[in-house]
Amino acid sequence: MEFSIDTTPPPFVYDSKGIIRVGGTRITLDTIIQTFKDGSTCEEIVYQYPVLKLSDVYSAVSYYLNNQEKVETYLEEHHRTANKIQYKIESHFEVNKIRDRLSKHDRGKK
């Protein structure tokens, strides 16, 4: 029997907003990589996010380890975009005033 090497692509899918999701789930690549960088094993990541398959997490982490520069560039770009969106939302809705109002409302219930 001849042994052939299968090169399966990583289980990544871009959603409509350009965010990479893993294994046909809503879990993002940056969630998996940040959890891994925080010290979790692939098994622990699956325990935290049971919708993921262990093989998909290993594949995502393997891809990251073999392509760190490319993945880090993607993650940095993704975080910059998220920060811009957060700033826009907070400046538009005056989030601090909303928090203060909600906080006062919660204190009034006690």
For residues 28-51, average pLDDT: 97
* 95 falls within a domain: yes
Domain at 64, CATH number: 1.10.10.10
**Per-residue model confidence (pLDDT) at position 50:** 97
pLDDT in tens, 40-64: 999 999 999 999 999 999 999 999 9
Work out the percent of the chain whose per-residue pLDDT is above 70: 92
Residues spanned by the domain of 37? 12-109
pTM over cut 0.85: no
Is 31:49 a contact under the CB 8 Å cutoff? yes
Mean pLDDT value across residues 26-40: 97
Condensed to tens digits (0 to 9), the pLDDT of residues 80-110 reads 988 888 888 777 777 677 777 788 766 665 5
Q: What pLDDT was estimated at residue 109?
A: 59
Place of tokens 């920060």: 83
Distance, C-alpha 95 to centroid of its chain: 24
60 within a domain of the structure (yes/no): yes
pLDDT given for residue 110 in this prediction = 53
Q: Does 1 map to a domain?
A: no
Where would I find the H helices in 23-94? 29-37, 42-48, 54-66, 68-93
Residue 28: per-residue pLDDT: 96
